Amino acid sequence: MYLSRVRVDLNGLSRGALFEIMGGGAYAAHQLLWRLFPEHQGQRPFLFRQEMDESEDGGAPRGLPLFYVLSDREPVPLPGLLEAQCKSFSPALNVGDRLAFRLRANPTVAKSVVGKRGQRADVLMAAKYPFVAGEARTSQACTEAMDEAARAWLAERAESWGFRLPVEPEVGAYRQHALPKDKGRPIRFSSVDYEGLLEVADPGRLIETLAQGVGRAKAFGCGLMLLRRL
């Protein structure tokens, strides 16, 4: 695997793509990053996460889109459009290792409906639903219920993904996204940012999880788990 930090030269984008990516448009970002793999045909070979590049450039923060990309092949930079700082990613993990992690995920559960195909339900919206409409929906109790639902979703799946959560992770940046399509209803999904500490339970399974990504909506910037040594 390869882990890359990708910066975009905005002068190489069309006006429409520029505004969409600067606004966090996941579909436009996904299409742009595909261009790092010009010879590939088939399923998407990468996961990605979009952030803002706040590194210093001439004494002032750049404030430009920055992407972290994990791929099963080395990306090919595009001069004048995509700059990629790439390194081989083959973590040596042992049972009991404790690592800091960051994750943007799409917490959903399967929802069965009689006579219909199974649907996915937003875990945080389900936690919000019991609260009355209006101001109560932004109350502290409602926020805490949504945060707890997000933590429970990750904790319940951690062992199957090869790790444990020794402490509760921080939860933030819950967003709902609507991506327009040429025809029909827009694609809708939500994302939540997690940050915390994990303990390796099954090194092989965790590496497989890193490669495959966590949860759904991976084509739209979710699922990439970033790890670092303490």
Q: Specify the pTM.
A: 0.83
The better pLDDT of the pair 162, 53 is held by 162
CB 94 within 8 A of CB 204: no
Instruction: For residues 200-210, give the mean pLDDT.
Output: 97
Distances (CA, A) of 15 to 11, 19, 22, 42, 179: 9, 6, 11, 29, 18
Question: Looking at per-residue confidence, does 52 or 169 come out higher?
Answer: 169
> Given a cut of 80, is residue 18 above it in pLDDT?
no
Q: How far apart are CA 202 and CA 89, in angstroms?
A: 18
Q: Which two tokens stand for residue 141?
A: 């109790």
- Mean local confidence (pLDDT), 173-184: 73
pLDDT tens per residue across span 110-134: 776 555 555 778 888 888 877 766 6
pLDDT category at 22 given cuts 50, 70, 90 is low
Q: Residue range 167-189: average pLDDT?
A: 79
Report pLDDT for 163.
Answer: 97
* pLDDT band per the 50, 70, 90 thresholds, residue 184: low
d(CA 74, CA 30): 17
97, pLDDT greater than 70: yes
Q: Region 154-158: what's the mean pLDDT? A: 95
Per-residue pLDDT tens for 43-65? 889 999 988 776 655 444 456 78
Q: What pLDDT is attached to residue 58? A: 47
- Asked if residues 23 and 64 have their Cβ atoms less than 8 Å apart, the reply is no
Q: Please give the pLDDT value at position 138.
A: 62
| Strands, E assignment, the chain | 2-8, 46-53, 56-57, 60-61, 64-71, 82-88, 98-105, 108-111, 119-122, 163-164, 170-179, 187-200, 225-229
pLDDT of residue 200: 97
Q: For residues 91 and 210, give the distance between their C-alpha atoms in angstroms, rounded to a whole number.
A: 10
pLDDT at position 159, please? 96
> What SS3 state is found at 108?
strand
